[in-house]
Amino acid sequence: MVCYISFSLKAALVIQNWYRTYRDRLKTRQRYALTIFQSIEYADEQGQLQLSNFFSFMLENYTRVQEKEPGLVTRLFGSSIQDKDRQDYLGLIEVPDSYCGPRLQFPLTFTDIDLLIEGFKQQQILHAYYVLEVLFETKKVLQQMPNFTHTSTSPSKEITICGKFQSRNGLPSVNNPYVFNGDFVDRGKNSMEILMILFVSFLVYPNDLHLNRGNHEDFMMNMRYGFTKEILHKYKLHGKKILQILEEVYTWLPIGTIIDNEVLVIHGGISESTDLNLLHHLERNKMRSVLMPPIPMDGDPAEKKNKLGTTIVAQGIRTSGSFSEQLTKQEWEQVIDILWSDPRGKRGCYPNTNRGGGCYFGPDITAKILNKYQLKMLVRSHECKPEGYEICHDGKVITVFSASNYYEEGSNRGAYIRMSSGTTPQFFQYQITRATCFRPLYQRVNAIESSAIRMLKERMISRKTDLTRAFQLQDRNKSGKLSMGQWAFSMENVLGLNLPWRSLSSHLVTTDKDGNIDYMSGFQDVHIQKPVKEVQSTLIETVYRYRSDLQIIFNIIDSDHSGLISMEEFRSMWKLFKSHYSVHIDDSQFDELAERMDLNKDGSIDFNEFLKAFYVVHKFDKLNKSDNKLA
């Protein structure tokens, strides 16, 4: 009997150890997949911030090419921050009797919050009239608020902090206060509904719901990440008006919240030069977009005369007077650090090379800034964490990320924090699932893994020409093969994603029995669809790689949101883009492509349809095979 029990116990321990090893391998694969998602996301953000240099370049060059279009300069650098008459927007909009969605009553009450949520549950769209009313009212209240909202708690009154919007702790109220730490939009197809619930709740409980600006509360970020498109799709008639007012609302959002004079809540992070005194007093409404930095000009750091005779500044265009419509360079950099920085374990403060904006700050920087301003803790968001939150810098920095399934169904948990004066922060984790909640862990990991590798393959095919050139430079014998080290070096050198290429190689390329890699095999199962067969692959890759940047630029030129730009504008913008980004493609190739894409030969191009014509085709997906894993 004793021998039988001993044998059973040993068998149970063997099974337990096997399962732990198996589960650890799955978690490692999931972690690799999240690393891919995050690296590509940060590379996209880096490209977005690099656009700011291009817009500065446009400021100096486009007006010389298109002197008849001064309106573009106004659109790019002109200040829209001025009091607009509410009647000009709402006077001609009527809510018809046939409208069956939520009907809000101003001043708003908690009943309107319930009404709104119920309507959205039934897939109803809030009428543009009410959207504009909410935006105008929100702007009016925000204008009265300081740059940092100060709030207090008590042992009997906790506050909930959410990052990357997703609330799981009931609706805000006097007894249930919240801080929403930025990035309310650009997160799925229902960003407008989320924003309306937040703003209506804020108008009902302005002292108990605190809204911090994130890096996506930025009209130019919205052009890239989908919110602009969502608004124009849902509000075809009045979308432009909504976008104009929303741009102003963003600028008035506070940039941080301070709880009990001890806890600093900001979206991104800090730097060694973070000056909370300066941040408390700068005019935050002058920060229209991170893509529009102050531009030092000849002898005057804020202005320059263009050929049209107007004085241009990065965030304002004016014809006379000395009042500046932009932040100073120092102020702008301070706000960028607050919105974009990330903590790291390494001491010091150094450039955030992954995102291209803000900085990485170490535990010594955290201690320095917190001590300087008599604070005890920094709570921030901005980064997806597998468990929904992360504590670092000796417990002084907490990252809270409330959006579960951020990259893919099952990719990460969400979390929120509840804290009150004199108590330890409490963390609550959750994961919203649909069909996947009934699937085994290995199937969920396979799905996450598959999506991550597909994204990575699309990244590779967009740089096929550059990668092939890099491989061939290493392949001195012209064998078509490289060692693992040579291949990994070339991949990182071209793509710059800081990924574990050796571990990922089995997913991306084929390897012979000697461990050498057939480097062209990485392109066999994927290609970019050519809208015009005669166009060279280099041009196709370039347009595909920069399609998001081009879409933002074209959207700015398209001031009436018609989706059309003239062939002349199309060519002029391409020439500037090619010059600034050092794209070595003959103009005749692009001209031929543009001519062919002008389908009805009316001299204009639907640029959204033009960019949709460039997409990646996956011939087959090796990731569906269960024996091919990331680890």
In degrees and rounded to multiples of 5, residue 399 shows phi and psi of -100, 125
Q: Are 420 and 159 in contact (CB under 8 A)?
A: yes
Copy the structure tokens of residue 69: 């279009």
Q: Are 241 and 131 in contact (CB under 8 A)?
A: no
216 is catalytic: yes
How many helices (H) and strands (E) the chain has is answered by 21, 24
Q: Residue 528 to residues 450, 461, 541: CA-CA distances in angstroms?
A: 19, 7, 7
Half-sphere exposure of 307 (CA within 13 A, CB side): 12
| Ramachandran category for residue 133: left, alpha or beta (phi over 0 → left; psi -120 to 50 → alpha) | alpha
Q: Residue 303 and residue 306: Cα distance in Å, rounded?
A: 10
Closest CA to 611 of 559, 535, 542, 556: 542
Choice among 127, 210, 216, 382 that is catalytic: 216
Rg (CA), the chain: 26
Amino acid at 508: L
Q: Residue 392 and residue 398: Cα distance in Å, rounded?
A: 6
Q: Residue 574 and residue 579: Cα distance in Å, rounded?
A: 8
Q: Which residue has the tokens 């050796």?
A: 502
Closest CA to 524 of 480, 482, 488, 583: 480
Does 296 sit behind a cis peptide bond, omega within 30 degrees of 0 on the bond before it? no
Q: Are 147 and 284 in contact (CB under 8 A)?
A: yes
Instruction: Show contacts of 440-443: CB within 8 Å, 24+ apart.
Output: 441/23, 441/26, 442/26, 442/626
Closest CA to 609 of 592, 617, 597, 594: 597
Q: Are 370 and 378 in contact (CB under 8 A)?
A: yes
What are the residue numbers of the active site?
A: 216
